[in-house]
Each structure stands twice: as structure tokens, then as C-alpha cells.
Structure 1
Amino acid sequence: MFHHKGTSAALSRRKVLKAGGALTATGLIGLPARLLAADPVSVAGIYTVPVEQQWVSRIHKAATAQQDAGAVTYTYSENTANTDYARVMREYAEGGAKLIVGEIFGVEDEAREVVGDYPEVAFLMGSSFMPDPAYPNLAVFDNYIQDASYLSGIIAGAMSQSGNIGMVGGFPIPEVNRLMNAFMAGVRETRADAKFQISFIGSWFDPPKAKETAFAMIDAGADVMYAERFGVSDAAQERGVLAVGNVIDTQADYPGTVVASALWHFEPTFDAALARVIDGSFAADNYGVYSQMKEGGCSLAPLGTFEGKVPEAAMALVAEREAAIKDGSFTVAIDDNEPTAG
């Protein structure tokens, strides 16, 4: 049984915010009633970008859903610089957090030093590395949503008139590369002669730079844009071309532009970790598997305004492949290599 001890004075000085109740769960696995009856688990989130950013928003949404359900108390820090990350981890651990969730891609070594100093705290961290028995209280995850990315590519290929696809990413690291490669594989299912323009902006959150990069690709003939970063869909909308979203569904913001999106659902990942914290079985493990389609960790967004506008043959292929992915008869390759243009 874990009891919330409250945040430390240091956290109060940092003006850590309680998550609001405005978000609701989608695809929430849920916890057994006996677990929900336990005292709320103190959960802390540490994010290097705003919680509105695509990737982090999925974690924030899942944690908020369990706070709304009464299973956790949730505090978080956003815009935490890598140079501050280890210090904030220590502050939350000292303040009584029982589960700390975040992303340590830029601070792998420093984060593991902290993890080793707080063996009673469970850490669920986005990481480029696999779990290590030397850090039994550190479980890792990543957004392995290549299944949904592949399906969105099938639609993109079918909707492109020119066969020229623009792709704007943050950094060419495995977490981005695998989604881009899966998307490109899907495009080639319906547009075998497709050509790709690829660029990385060197930031996780720089919408103006992403927008300018997308404009250049559209000027060079792209008529479908892969929007791995915020800003790309803005360019597509202004120039009257289509966009395919990543991680979140932004069609409501770009109703005539975003034709499809690969959605990440963090609830299966978060709920599995929370259940193990509560029952005392949390250990070093790879939670990346909970992002896969068969686990409910990703999906293709509804077509919305594009319902009936995507060629029937493409949608039939999407349905066929989605069923095969879920029953295990078709596997989307996990290719972490940097994608190549051309």
C-alpha cells in the first residue's frame, strides 16, 4: 500500500502543477477494482517540452485519466532542460513519488545514476535502450506505433497525385526513424513509384522551422506531407496539400488537410506499470510492447472529413492489414535506420 507524502518545498518553489481533469481516456485498459480501492499512488511526470507537444501529451493524458479515476495523484514539470533533468528526478523521489514517468533520451547516463539512488521508487522512462537488470526499478518504453504509421502510409500513397511525399521529422533517431520507415513502406503499397523528400529540423518543438521546411518541400512538388512535427500541417493547409499526422489526431484543427493520423495510446503502458507498482511486482522491463496495435497502444485515426474520399481499394487494404496485424499474421518491420530520400 502506497501513501502520497506530498511534494517537497523544492517542488512547490518550482510551481509544479497538478494535472487538470479536462482530458479523458481513450482505449483505457483500466485497473481491477481492488487496485482502484487502494490509496492513490503518487505519480510524477518530468517532460522536456510542453505537455501540449504530441509525444508527451499522450503520457500526460494517460496519467490524468488515472487521476480522474482516483488511482493516482499526479504532478508534473514541463519544459525541463536536460541539464536540470536529474535534479528534478531527485526532487520528486525525495518528495514521495512512487512512480516517476518521463523521457530520458538526452540524459540516459545521468538518469540511471538517480535511479540507482532511489531503489524504492519506480521509474517508467522513454529511452533508446533496453532494460538493464542492474537497474531493477527502471522500466523503459518508446512509441512503437509503426503498425499505425504503416496503415497511414497506405492512405497517403493512395491520395497522392504526384507521388511526391514530403517528410519532416525532429531528429533522425530510432524513435522517429521507425515510424518514418513504416509510413514509407505503407506508401509504397499503393504508390510503388513514390519519391520522398526527407528533412529533420533538429528540434522536438519548433513549429516555425517545421513549417518553413514543409513549404520548401511543397514548392519542390510534394502534395502529401508527413507531419511528424507541429508546424507541417500548417504549411500543408496554407498551400492546399494533404498531411498525415503522427501520435495525435489533429484533423479537427485541419479538417480539409489531415487525411489520416497514426495515434499513440499510452494508457496500456501506464496502466500496466501502475498495476505493478501497486502489487509490488514492478521491475526492469521493456514496456514498448504496449504501444503496438495488438496491445491497443496505437490505432489509425478515424477518417472524419475524408470519409468516402479515400479510394476504396486502399481502405480495403488497410482493413485487411489491420486485421492481420492484430491476429499476428502480418508484422510491420521495425526499421530504426535513418530513412533515405529519393
Structure 2
Amino acid sequence: MTLKTDEFKMSRRAILAGSAAAGVMAVAQPQGVWAAEPLKVAGIYTVPVEQQWVSRIHVAALAAQERGDITYTFSENTANTDYPRVLREYAEQGMDMIVGEIFGVEAEAREVMADYPDVAFLMGSSFKEDPSLPNLSVFDNYIQDASYLSGIIAGAMTTSGNIGMVGGFPIPEVNRLMHAFMAGAQEMNPDIKFQVSFIGSWFDPPKAKETAYAMIENGADMLYAERFGVSDAAKEKGILAIGNVIDTQSDYPDTVVASALWHFEPTLDAAIAAVKSGTFAAADYGVYSFMQEGGCSLAPYGTFEGKIPQAALDLVAAKTAAIKDGSFAVTINDEEPKSS
């Protein structure tokens, strides 16, 4: 399935319109209370909070807590089999909002949420919102804009024209970023070949590293590090890498050229505002990850300043401006990418 940016603009209009037409669809909260009291927010994560994707949620929540908008507690390394139980426990504790990821427990988690209509749930999900479950809003890391730009850099820096890409699982959340990266790389060289592999885990650095080794042996001189462990292989073998979701250049100053960054703050802040105003309703918050919303960016080049071809820098600048002013939209392709 391929979606276009204007479809997500419509989603955002629906989110904003929800405040005017929330009625019975909104999570009922007493007005005037939230202004004085910080929201009680819990995070439930299936991996360590250091993991790329989850770390963005965690950092945004800590920032919201620091400015006094919320109080925040969290559970990490929660197995999918335990997720519904932990979800219910936090709801029973009187949380105003629970944030997390239900990719592996969609049906079970939604059953729990139906039992707690006064709790707002903001969950990473492969599925869309359900009007019959008005206290659940979904989100995802739609950072295809930044991934596309990072692909331009990769396409300019590879000399072999062979790029290895290691992902966790071939699900929409990963697939769309890989496709955007590949499209960006091909802007610089349409003949680039890609090796694509998935390790079947969200957090298995040794396996990701071994998979990357095999790609290097097969001619890759640039790696797309969707998972931890890939940049370690690149560093040890003396080749380059592109980061994903977080900036790891400080750990790999001679290896990671650029990274597509996800900023979860716009997503979380929009949900906090909706809960505080009593207008939280079933919606898709994915649009808040778009570059136009401040939800993603290309990391600074840092140690690679002056080492990237000017043609690539000029194209990145032009495409960034076009993305921000709406004259260019990166295609969203959720289909599983394949090796060339």
C-alpha cells in the first residue's frame, strides 16, 4: 500500500476537528482540573528504553515531566505475553494516559482499553484508530522524509554502489523507512544495488552485526543501520553507515555519516494537550512525525562536514525546503523491500 502526504494532512485535520466535535467520542475528563495538576502518564515498552524507537518516546516523556506537564513512570522489557496485564495494572493505578507499543498484541491490548474508557491510550500500532474505541489514538514513526534525505547522502558516499540494509521485522514501520532511504540513494545513482535482510528481533545487536558482516563480504561499502549492531560491523570493517531514529555519530565518529532522527515531542505534546482539554479521541497521530510538523530531521553531519560531495548537500537542501513547503512529498511505501 502506498500513501501520499495529503492523506495524512486529512488525518491531521480530523485530529484538530475532533476538539470541536468530540462529544461522546472524547475521553471524558473534568474541565479545569488539568491546568493545575500534571497528568499521570505511564509508558510500557517491550524493549530497553535505550533501544532506538522506544528511546524517542522515553526522552519526550522525560522532557514533558521536566516542564511539569506530566508525572511519568515506565516499564521496560515487557514481554508481549505480559503486556495486557501490565496495561491493566497501570490503568487500575489511575493513570490519565498510557503510552507504548502494541504491535505484537493489538487485539488483546484493545480489549483491555475497552475496559478503561476514562484512560487515554497513545499507542504505536500498525493499525488505524477505531471509532468504537474512542480512548485509543495510534501513532507510528513516519520519518520517511528524513530517511529519504539520509539516502541521498548514502548514495553520494558509496563507491561500490552496493548498500546493505539490516532491519528488525518487515513491518510497515520499518519498510516505509527503507523504501524512502532507497529512493533517496537512487537520486544520486539509479544503478545502486541493495542487500536487504531482517533479523526477526527488535533488539539483538550480535545478530544484526553478523548479518551486516555477510553483506560487507558480499560487496557492501555502506550500511543502513536500522538496528543496533550494524554500525559496529561497519566500524570494524572500515566502511560507512547511516543511522536511524537516533544520532549515534558520537559513538561512531568515523563511521556514521548521517542519521534520520525521530522527534516524538510533537506527537506526545499533541496528546497531552488533548487530554488536558478533555478532547482526546480516537485519531491517527502519525502525521506528527512528518518533517513539516517537526517530527523528524536529518542529524548534523558533524565529523563528516566537508567530506560529503557538494552535489548531495545541494540536493538535500533543495529537497528539505520542498518537503517543508509542501511542494515535494516523499512516497510512503509500506510493502516489504527486497534485495536488488
Same fold (TM > 0.5): yes
Shift of 1:200: 0.2
The residue identity in structure 2 corresponding to 1:326 is K
Map 1:172-191; keep pairs closer than 5 Å. 172-191=170-189
Shift of 1:192: 1.2
Q: Cα gap change, 1:213/1:35 in structure 2, threshold over 3 Å: closer, same or farther?
A: farther
Q: Cα gap change, 1:35/1:117 in structure 2, threshold over 3 Å: closer, same or farther?
A: closer
Q: What is the TM-score with the length of structure 2 in the denominator?
A: 0.90
Shift of 1:140: 0.1
1:164 alignment partner in structure 2? 162
User: Does the CA-based 8 Å contact 1:243-1:258 persist in structure 2?
Assistant: yes
Rounded Cα–Cα distance in structure 2 between residues aligned with 1:59 and 1:226: 22
User: Does the CA-based 8 Å contact 2:56-2:264 persist in structure 1?
Assistant: yes
User: Does the CA-based 8 Å contact 1:211-1:231 persist in structure 2?
Assistant: yes
The residue identity in structure 2 corresponding to 1:338 is E
User: Does the CA-based 8 Å contact 2:35-2:276 persist in structure 1?
Assistant: no
1:126 alignment partner in structure 2? 124
Rounded Cα–Cα distance in structure 2 between residues aligned with 1:88 and 1:220: 44
Map 1:261-340; keep pairs closer than 5 Å. 261-340=259-338
Alignment pair present for 1:155 and 2:153: yes
Which of residues 240, 243, 246 is equivalent to 1:245?
Answer: 243
Rounded Cα–Cα distance in structure 2 between residues aligned with 1:84 and 1:325: 41
1:12 alignment partner in structure 2? none
Q: Percent identity?
A: 76
Structure 2's unaligned 5+ residue stretches are: 1-31
Cα deviation per residue 1:10-33 (whole Å; 9 max; x = unaligned)? xxxxxxxxxxxxxxxxxxxxxxxx
User: Does the CA-based 8 Å contact 1:198-1:341 persist in structure 2?
Assistant: yes
Shift of 1:38: 2.3
Rounded Cα–Cα distance in structure 1 between residues aligned with 2:153 and 2:189: 10
Moved over 3 A (4+): 34-37
Rounded Cα–Cα distance in structure 2 between residues aligned with 1:180 and 1:293: 17
User: Does the CA-based 8 Å contact 2:162-2:221 persist in structure 1?
Assistant: yes
Which of residues 82, 87, 90 is equivalent to 1:89?
Answer: 87
Rounded Cα–Cα distance in structure 2 between residues aligned with 1:132 and 1:245: 33
Rounded Cα–Cα distance in structure 2 between residues aligned with 1:232 and 1:161: 19
SS of the residue 1:124 aligns to: strand
Rounded Cα–Cα distance in structure 2 between residues aligned with 1:135 and 1:276: 16
User: Does the CA-based 8 Å contact 1:36-1:70 persist in structure 2?
Assistant: no
2:115 alignment partner in structure 1? 117
Rounded Cα–Cα distance in structure 2 between residues aligned with 1:93 and 1:36: 18
Alignment pair present for 1:144 and 2:142: yes
Query: How many residue pairs get matched?
Result: 309
Rounded Cα–Cα distance in structure 1 between residues aligned with 2:265 and 2:149: 21
Q: What is the TM-score with the length of structure 1 in the denominator?
A: 0.89
User: Does the CA-based 8 Å contact 1:38-1:71 persist in structure 2?
Assistant: no
User: Does the CA-based 8 Å contact 1:43-1:99 persist in structure 2?
Assistant: yes
Which of residues 216, 222, 228 is equivalent to 2:226?
Answer: 228
Alignment pair present for 1:53 and 2:51: yes
The residue identity in structure 2 corresponding to 1:63 is A
1:205 alignment partner in structure 2? 203
- The alignment yields a C-alpha RMSD, in angstroms, of 1.1
Shift of 1:149: 0.2
User: Does the CA-based 8 Å contact 2:34-2:277 persist in structure 1?
Assistant: no
The residue identity in structure 1 corresponding to 2:281 is A
User: Does the CA-based 8 Å contact 1:36-1:71 persist in structure 2?
Assistant: no
User: Does the CA-based 8 Å contact 1:35-1:275 persist in structure 2?
Assistant: no
User: Does the CA-based 8 Å contact 1:62-1:266 persist in structure 2?
Assistant: yes
SS of the residue 2:308 aligns to: coil
Shift of 1:340: 1.2
Rounded Cα–Cα distance in structure 2 between residues aligned with 1:292 and 1:84: 32
Rounded Cα–Cα distance in structure 2 between residues aligned with 1:126 and 1:209: 25
Rounded Cα–Cα distance in structure 2 between residues aligned with 1:35 and 1:182: 43
User: Does the CA-based 8 Å contact 2:114-2:133 persist in structure 1?
Assistant: yes
Shift of 1:36: 8.6
Which of residues 215, 218, 226 is equivalent to 2:216?
Answer: 218
Rounded Cα–Cα distance in structure 2 between residues aligned with 1:144 and 1:36: 30
Shift of 1:308: 1.0
